[in-house]
Amino acid sequence: MRTLWRNARLVTLAGDRGWGLIERGALAADGERIAWVGADEDLPRELDVQSEHDLDGALVTPGLIDCHTHLVYGGSRAAEFELRLQGASYEDIARAGGGIVSTVAATRAASDRQLFDAARARALALMAEGVTTLEVKSGYGLDEANEARTLAVARRLGRELALTVTTTYLAAHALPPEFAGRSDAYIDAVIDWLPRLHAQGLVDAVDAFCERIGFTPAQTRRLFDAARALGLPVKLHAEQLSDQGGALLAAEFNALSCDHLEYLSEAGVAALARAGTVAVLLPGAFYFLRETKLPPVAALRDAGVPIAIATDHNPGSSPTLSPLLMLNMACTLFRLTPEEALRGMTVNGARALGLRDRGRLVVGQRADLVVWDLEHPRELAYWFGRNPCTRVIVGRAAGAQ
């Protein structure tokens, strides 16, 4: 079924720069794909549509893409928030048995229903601010059965909600208690689980936490070799708390993305540029952990590295469910322009997930649209503390509305 949306101010993001703004635009969706887009006055007379909608001059952008989340977990870490305010560092808490490991215990104790219901509520909150595609990482199970459970919950979200969900295997997130002091043996286990989880259709990509309190570059390399053998793309939590050379390693494997990157070196920037790897910046974690080391945005920009923005929703370092706030923080904290921030959660967010069929309002792309009560797209990063989203239209339902 072909649906026509008229009288809209379309933010197409066509091309590499600029908003691609069509002041009085129209867009036709044929099923889940955009079939025509342009000025309303240029609509082809022969265009056959079964349903037509007047958007009354509203601003329309591509659906937002949250390319880095840890959405499926049990429990809360609000107590650790208090500890940090009293002077404890993220690393102090992790080494004392808190941090990721405490969420692992809560996740293992939760039922499948509890995990799904909590994750669904979080996903709905993101969708209410315009998210139509998101990534969900595992990493709070840290054994084969619980990694499978959390990935299955993520898959179920994609089936039951009007939302595209991609899944990332992040078992190399932290060392579980049963492997204390045996990190190499744990990486052996993570590698052993991967083919079986992949065979179950649960894994779209592989990630690791390459950090002093995570895993070494050598351990990460072994996991990435296993992912490559299965034809799976890789991503990496890199250079968040220190420079471990993770970005260089990730670029060697043509990683889809490197994420965090506060301590990224000049050599790391150059490697990402050569590999075409997306730099995913996570202002929520930077803010919540009260970090002071800014990611090298100017160097990334100058090198032509695509920059994406994501919520990094997780219970320990970025418990936000507001992608719009992340757009604002990307500008106020990291000094991105409003256009760069929006591209970071559309065009480049899609690239960070290896998805080429969304992020712009151009012919052939998915008809994932968000309607906003705003005058100009720069306002998406300007306002905070309010939600101007009035309607979300996803491609698979576009022809039915």
* pLDDT of amino acid 93: 82
pLDDT exceeds cutoff 70 at 318:
yes
Q: Give the start-end residues of each E strand in 127-270.
A: 131-137, 164-172, 205-210, 235-238, 257-260
Predicted local distance difference test score (pLDDT) of residue 396: 66
Helix or strand run (H / E) with residue 169: strand 164-172
pLDDT value at position 107? 98
Q: List pLDDT tens digits, range 285-297.
A: 999 999 999 999 9
What integer pLDDT is reported at residue 101 of this predicted model?
87
Contact 92, 129 (CB under 8 A): no
Write down the pLDDT at residue 84: 85
**End-to-end CA, the chain:** 9
If 0-12 CB within 10 Å is exposed, 13-18 middle and 19+ buried, where does residue 31 land? middle
Please name the residue ranges forming H helices in 296-366.
297-303, 323-332, 338-344, 347-352
Whole-number mean pLDDT of the chain?
Answer: 95
Phi, psi for 134 (deg, rounded to 5)? -145, 155
pLDDT, one tens digit per residue, over 101-127 is: 899 999 999 999 999 999 999 999 999
Whether residue 207 contacts residue 135, with contact meaning beta carbons closer than 8 Å, is answered with no
Q: Which two tokens stand for residue 285?
A: 């974690």
Closest CA to 258 of 292, 220, 230, 229: 220
Q: Is 51 helix (H, G, I), strand (E, B) or coil?
A: strand
87 compared with 167, residue with greater pLDDT: 167
Burial of residue 341, with CB atoms counted within 10 A of its CB: 0-12 exposed, 13-18 middle, 19 or more buried: buried
pLDDT single digits (tens) 244-273? 999 999 999 999 999 999 999 999 999 999
* DSSP-assigned beta bridge partners for residue 131: 64
**What mean pLDDT is predicted for residues 52-81?**
96
Q: How confident is the model at residue 398 (pLDDT cuts 50, 70, 90)?
A: very low
Distances (CA, A) of 77 to 98, 100, 131, 171, 173: 9, 9, 25, 20, 17
Per residue in 175-212, pLDDT (tens digit) is 999 999 999 999 999 999 999 999 999 999 999 999 99
Domains plus CATH for the chain?
A: 2-62+360-398 (2.30.40.10), 64-352 (3.20.20.140)
Structure tokens at 348: 């480049």
